[in-house]
């Protein structure tokens, strides 16, 4: 079978370059198109040379519509506004879209859900196998323990990350809340400051740390009387996100329209 033609948005960024390298290393995938925002100094450059691979004969362009017209599947790790525009293009061109962008609000989520009525979209707060296993475990443990076990989610990322809590931390919170049968937004506590009073039973708390070059550390704490259970994942390299995203693009090719998650891709 012919290789699936992959397009990468934000191809000049750190994640975009890593995705370029991962696509070239993955059997069944071929980099076919790449784009960047208008005004980027990388426009016109070869995506392979930019990623340190040598020329791949794929020039970075400024027109995402052309990218979606050319590729069969597109991987997007950009910013919320750009991702929503790309979701519309994916729906228009009937192209697979894999979304790794975080910080998308509820209104944006509805736009992605609408686009998924026309094409296959894989959207996950984290593309790594280990993190998705962690989410499944968090849901399972939360279901097994009663609300007397307090749930706290602690995450740390590099100093350049712009959203907090991280999309992965919120995903872990949603998994734990699902295990307890409650909507996360009814029980979350995203910050604490000053005289907050005693902790509310059943709350799911978040603590956010930023500093250095930390790729991503996440811990789900279940704190009970006399014991504490901690589930932790630490990412040493962003390659785990790229590997999962490319796997998702290959998996989704040929799938019917719908909004899928990495749990679907991994068969969890």
pLDDT at res. 125: 81
Going by the DSSP 8-state scheme, the letter that residue 59 receives in this structure is B
The CA-atom distances, in angstroms, between 120 and each of 134, 157, 189, 250, 253 are: 25, 30, 33, 11, 8
pLDDT at res. 268: 78
Per cent of the chain over pLDDT 90 is: 93
pLDDT at res. 2: 84
Q: Where are the domains of the chain?
A: 4-123+238-266, 129-235
Six token digits for residue 21: 């390298």
Tell me the pLDDT tens digit for each residue of 122-157: 999 889 989 999 999 999 999 999 999 999 999 999
pLDDT at res. 242: 95
Residue 108 pLDDT level (bands cut at 50, 70, 90): very high
Question: In 39-66, which positions are buried (b, 16+ CB within 10 angstroms) versus exposed (e)?
Answer: ebebeebbbbebbebeebebbbbeebee
Residue 103 pLDDT level (bands cut at 50, 70, 90): confident
Going by the DSSP 8-state scheme, the letter that residue 256 receives in this structure is P
pLDDT at res. 238: 86
Per cent of the chain over pLDDT 70 is: 100
Mean pLDDT value of segment 70-99: 97
Residue 75 pLDDT level (bands cut at 50, 70, 90): very high
Catalytic annotation, residues: 157, 161
Mean pLDDT value of segment 221-249: 95
Per-state percent for the chain, helix, strand, coil, to nearest 5? 35, 25, 40
pLDDT at res. 228: 98
pLDDT at res. 7: 98
Confidence check: pLDDT of 64 > 80: yes
Are 123 and 262 in contact, with CB atoms under 8 Å apart?
Answer: no
Six token digits for residue 70: 């050319």
Confidence check: pLDDT of 102 > 90: no
Confidence check: pLDDT of 1 > 80: no
* CATH class of the domain at 4-123+238-266: alpha beta
pLDDT at res. 126: 86
Sequential DSSP letters for 164-197: SS-HHHHHHHHHHHHHHTS-GGGTEE----S---
Mean model confidence pLDDT for the chain: 95
The CA-atom distances, in angstroms, between 50 and each of 11, 237, 262 are: 9, 19, 29
* CATH class of the domain at 129-235: alpha beta
Are 8 and 20 in contact, with CB atoms under 8 Å apart?
Answer: yes
């Amino acid at each position: 079978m012919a290789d699936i033609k992959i397009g990468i948005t934000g191809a000049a960024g750190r994640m975009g370059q890593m995705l370029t390298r991962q696509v070239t290393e993955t059997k069944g995938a071929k980099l076919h198109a790449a784009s960047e925002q208008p005004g980027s100094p990388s426009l016109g450059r070869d995506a392979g040379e930019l990623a340190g691979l040598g020329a791949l004969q794929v020039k970075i362009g400024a027109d995402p519509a052309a990218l979606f017209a050319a590729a069969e599947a597109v991987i997007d790790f950009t910013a919320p506004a750009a991702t929503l525009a790309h979701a519309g293009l994916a729906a228009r061109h009937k192209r697979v879209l894999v979304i790794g962008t975080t910080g998308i609000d509820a209104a944006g989520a509805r736009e992605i859900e609408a686009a998924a009525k026309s094409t296959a979209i894989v959207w996950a707060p984290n593309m790594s196998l280990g993190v998705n296993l962690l989410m499944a475990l968090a849901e399972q443990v939360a279901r097994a323990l009663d609300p007397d076990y307090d749930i706290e989610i602690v995450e740390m990322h590099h100093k350049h990350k712009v959203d907090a809590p991280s999309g992965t931390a919120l995903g872990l919170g949603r998994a734990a809340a699902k295990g307890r049968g409650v909507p996360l937004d009814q029980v979350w506590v995203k910050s604490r400051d000053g005289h907050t009073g005693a902790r509310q039973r059943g709350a799911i708390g978040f603590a956010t740390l930023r500093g250095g070059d930390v790729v991503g550390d996440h811990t789900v704490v279940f704190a009970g009387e006399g014991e504490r259970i901690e589930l932790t994942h630490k990412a040493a390299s962003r390659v785990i996100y790229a590997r999962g995203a490319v796997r998702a693009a290959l998996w989704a090719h040929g799938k019917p329209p719908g909004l899928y998650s990495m749990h679907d891709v991994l068969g969890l």
